[in-house]
């Protein structure tokens, strides 16, 4: 599906500072609870996906906006550390950088609040300024953590220059503009996001397939639903393929979906098939849940078995 195998990817999306508290259980309303550990790290769905792809070896361009604060400067330095092109990582003094307070239980489950801040001050003109990078990329990757109008603009630019698109519709909203579905080549929600978008309960692979067909009917070319410990499901007008995941010890699921999407984009940009790319991305995501944190849990190439990295 990729128009070239240059390995270059452009990501338009949010960056956040993750404020992670490890707790014995999720809180009840009005409750104060002692946590066991606190970690601060770099996150945001767009930045996470960009970092995962860069760690695997892709050439990545990030389009986002940070505040003129300590978090913003650190975010840009963090991306540069992974070799991400930060030409389009812009700054504003009109809002704080985005933050994401996160609670994580001993079972590795998480709850996340996002405050987008400076991310939503990105403009259509600033996205358009990245047009040449989008045109040179094998894939454009987007999410829903920035203003929906900005995501739509990025998808429109990709369509105009002929670059295939991956949309991770997270965090999910109950309704999306119809145009977004038609502009998306690979629509990649998780189970919860699929339920919110379709109103259909997902409790098995067959139920996920029915929901995927509903999304296809809205104009998406291919639906790829991530199923957590059950791997993922690929559905298009011709096939339905379930890719299982290996059983692993789960420490922290924070960022697992982003590691999957970043890895998926990386392998697709190398020219692998969607099935092969998704199979490898499931394995990368399975490694990420074995460590704490978000980007800090994403494996480096040296930590990934050679057979996964091979094209």
Reply yes or no on whether 185 is catalytic.
no
Q: Work out the number of other CB atoms within 10 angstroms of the CB of residue 125.
A: 8
Structure tokens at 211: 């929901």
CB-count burial class (<10 Å; 0-12, 13-18, 19+) for 175: exposed
Closest among 190, 257, 266 to 48, alpha carbons compared: 257
β-strands 99-104, 16-22: how paired?
Answer: parallel
Residues in the chain: 311
DSSP state of 95: S
**Looking at the DSSP assignment, which residues form a beta bridge with residue 167?**
142, 187
52/294 Cα distance (integer angstroms) = 10
**Choosing from 246, 258, 276, 300, which is the catalytic residue?**
258
Answer yes or no: are the C-beta atoms of 138 and 148 closer than 8 Å: no
Whole-number Å distance between alpha carbons of 6 and 4 = 6
> For residues 182 and 159, what is the distance between their CA atoms, to the nearest angstrom?
10
Look at residue 223 and give its three-state secondary structure.
Answer: strand
Q: How far apart are CA 256 and CA 57, in angstroms?
A: 18
Eight-state DSSP code of residue 41: E
- Three-state secondary structure call for residue 111: strand
Q: Catalytic positions, please?
A: 258
């Amino acid at each position: 599906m990729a128009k070239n195998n240059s390995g270059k990817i452009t990501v338009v999306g949010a960056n956040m500072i993750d404020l992670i508290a490890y707790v014995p259980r999720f809180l009840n309303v009005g409750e104060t609870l002692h946590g066991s550990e606190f970690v601060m790290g770099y996150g945001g769905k767009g930045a996470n996906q960009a970092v995962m792809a860069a760690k695997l070896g892709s050439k990545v361009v990030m389009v986002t906006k940070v505040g003129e604060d300590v978090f913003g400067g650190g975010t840009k330095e963090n991306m540069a550390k992974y070799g991400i092109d930060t030409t389009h990582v812009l700054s504003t003094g009109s809002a704080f950088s985005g933050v994401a307070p996160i609670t994580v239980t001993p079972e590795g489950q998480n709850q996340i609040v996002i405050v987008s801040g400076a991310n939503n001050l990105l403009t259509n003109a600033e996205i358009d300024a990245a047009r040449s990078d989008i045109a040179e990329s094998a894939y454009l990757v987007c999410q829903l953590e920035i203003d929906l109008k900005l995501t739509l603009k990025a998808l429109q630019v990709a369509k105009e220059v002929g670059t295939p698109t991956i949309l991770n519709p997270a965090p999910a909203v109950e309704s999306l503009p119809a145009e977004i579905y038609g502009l998306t080549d690979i629509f990649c929600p998780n189970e919860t996001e699929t339920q919110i978008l379709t109103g259909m309960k997902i409790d098995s692979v067959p139920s996920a397939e029915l929901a995927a067909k509903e999304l296809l009917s809205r104009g998406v070319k291919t639906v790829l639903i991530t199923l957590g410990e059950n791997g993922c499901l690929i559905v298009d007008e011709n096939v339905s393929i379930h890719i299982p995941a290996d059983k692993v010890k789960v420490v922290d699921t924070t960022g697992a979906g982003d590691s999957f999407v970043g890895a998926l984009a990386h392998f697709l940009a190398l020219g692998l098939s969607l099935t092969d790319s998704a199979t490898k991305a499931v394995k990368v995501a399975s490694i990420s849940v074995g460590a704490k944190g978000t980007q800090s849990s994403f494996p480096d190439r040296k930590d990934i078995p050679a057979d996964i990295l091979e094209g």
